[in-house]
Amino acid sequence: MRSAIVFIICLVACAGDDEETSTADAATGTGGQTSCPMPPAIDVSGDPVPGSTLLLAVAAGDGNVAWTVSTGELSAPTGSAVEWTLPAGAAVHVAEPAQVTALVTRAGCSDIPLAADVLIDWPPALRTLVIANPNVPGSADVAAHYAAFRNIPDDHLCEVAAVDATVLPGTDYEAWLGEVTACITALGPHIHYLVPVYGVPYKVDGRIMDLAGTNIVTISLDALLVFGAESASFTATLFNPYYQVGNSMTGEYDPFVPFGQLRQNDGSDYFMVARIDGADADAAKALVDRTQTAEMLAGMLTGTVYVDGNRGVPHPTSDAFGSYESGEWNIIGVENAFTAHGAYDVVADYNSEEFGTAPAPLTCPDALYYAGWYSFGHYNDVFTWNPGAIGGHLDSCSACDIRGQQDWSAQALRRGITATFGAVNEPYVAGMPEYDQFFAYLLQGASFGEAAYESTRIGAWMMVWVGDPLYRPYPATR
């Protein structure tokens, strides 16, 4: 919880015996004038969370205090100390400013108005719902471990049973979604982040038509869950309304926008979904611990950026959406973004061979960020991951089995990466995130979850994001 941020405006005037005195004279009573000391600022005690009660106080001495507030209710209109109950329905999407005023009156003195501005908001912990599977041993333990790290209360833990820990049958999706939705409804519309943990299925079958429009395919459960209750009726992918437009060839991107602001602008009740997962429950808890270590270094992360293209130099001359050239430019753009940023060494290679295979570099020590492609269902074990490391490999099965021992994301998790992402089934190039845009938004202060969804065009499709959605490598700038 955080302390209230209070900005004070005080106007002071005192009068006695029909003539004004200086503040110093008034405070000391010199010159035979009535003593009119300036009261201190309004003291606001408590955390300004919607529905909470704050204590307002002014040390007015023998004076009287009359209160007004711009929203919510006061326990009494007058008194040196009163309680202010904030409206429970405030700040659904973004923080809301409120103001309290106090008018201090004393016999023989001019009235003294005081004001304090308070920002009403839900802390991230109270905007988060954690989802576990009671049928999988250790799933609830992972949820509790993550909740303890983020100070998420127990009533924000939602257990929804699924028989299989990997794939949810499409016929079961509506009932499963209904239980998740019930947990959200019980807490309120301010919930923004859904965090499934180890044991919760990350795929769903029998629901969504392939982009080619010929077959119903298995897709990412998390990508479908983004759309909340609406997703119960989905039969096809859709454009992600939170995608921010970017151009990899020119390095021009719409600016990062905080998720709550996007939600308010769109008028939707969609969610940001990323999971805490790994080979087993202990591995998932270790991912939480790595995130905690990384956050202690926020803004001071160290390491090297590794970029692995495969289409040679000179770079492609086109960037048509969904083409292999666009995939290459998404990777090239990562090099350009970090070179412009200037804080890290960047190692880029555009040979068809991947890191670990000559003539590409054979090792990748002190890796902080990675973007590259392409070998199907394979991980070259050449990376040493630094605290806070984030990386993703563009291939058609980079996250087909995030708890296994073959796919890129699964292997990176086993070897200590802090966050990763990939496709659970054939995504086509169009279905992957724009890697350069993702990392550019991280550098602008986006969280892992915000950067994920603002850089991915197609929704209800193949991407799974493994890592804490609240993990923010750099301080937010807005």
pLDDT of 12 reads 34
| Cβ proximity of 397 and 376 under 8 Å | yes
Q: What's this model's pTM, rounded to 2 decimal places?
A: 0.90
Least confident of 74-78, 80-84, 378-382: 378-382
Domain ranges of the chain: 7-121, 125-466
Average pLDDT, integer, range 175-197? 98
User: Tokens standing for 1?
Assistant: 């919880």
Residue 199's pLDDT is what? 98
Q: pLDDT tens across 189-208, in order?
A: 999 999 999 999 999 999 99
User: Among 2.60.40, 3.40.50, 2.60.120, 1.10.443, what is the CATH number of 7-121?
Assistant: 2.60.40
Mean pLDDT (whole number) for 412-437:
97
Tokens linked to 344: 């890290």
pLDDT digits (tens, 9 = 90+) for 2-47: 344 333 333 333 333 333 333 334 333 444 445 787 777 999 999 9
**Given a cut of 50, is residue 423 above it in pLDDT?**
yes
- From residue 168, how far is each of 133, 173, 243, 270, 401 by CA, in Å? 12, 7, 27, 21, 14
In sequence order, the β-bridge partners of residue 45 are 55
The three-point CA angle 141-196-207 to 5° equals 140
pLDDT of residue 331 exceeding 80, the answer is yes
Where is 285: in which H helix or E strand? helix 281-296
Task: Please tell me the predicted confidence (pLDDT) of residue 478.
Answer: 47
| 370 in Cβ contact with 354 (< 8 Å) | no
Phi, psi of 294 (to 5 degrees): -65, -40
- Please identify which residue in the block is written with the tokens 């070179």: 339
**DSSP label at 332?**
H
d(CA 33, CA 102): 25
Angle subtended at Cα 374 by Cα 373 and Cα 377, rounded to the nearest 5 degrees:
115
Q: What's the whole-number average pLDDT of the chain?
A: 91
Mean pLDDT of 324-345: 96
Residue 77 has pLDDT above 80, yes or no: yes
* 48 close to 88: Cβ distance less than 8 angstroms: no
Residue pair 279/235 in contact (Cβ under 8 Å)? The answer is: no
Looking at residue 353, its amino acid is E
Q: What is residue 422's three-state secondary structure?
A: strand
Local structure of 407: helix, strand or coil: coil
What pLDDT is recorded for position 1?
40
Please tell me the distance from the alpha carbon of residue 241 to that of residue 396, in angstroms, as a whole number: 24
Average pLDDT over residues 64-84: 97
In this prediction, residues 286-303 reach a mean pLDDT of 94
Q: Looking at residue 10, what is its pLDDT? A: 35
Q: Residue 94 and residue 214: Cα distance in Å, rounded? A: 41
Confidence of residue 268 (pLDDT cuts 50, 70, 90): confident
In 279-412 the beta strands, taken as DSSP E runs, fall at 304-308, 345-349, 364-372, 383-393
Q: What is the pLDDT of residues 152-161, one digit of tens each?
A: 999 999 999 9
CA neighbor of 409 nearest in space, from 394, 395, 399, 397 = 399
Q: What is the pLDDT of residues 350-364, one digit of tens each?
A: 999 999 999 999 999
Find residue 383's DSSP bridge partners.
364
Enter the DSSP assignment of 348: E
pLDDT given for residue 298 in this prediction: 75
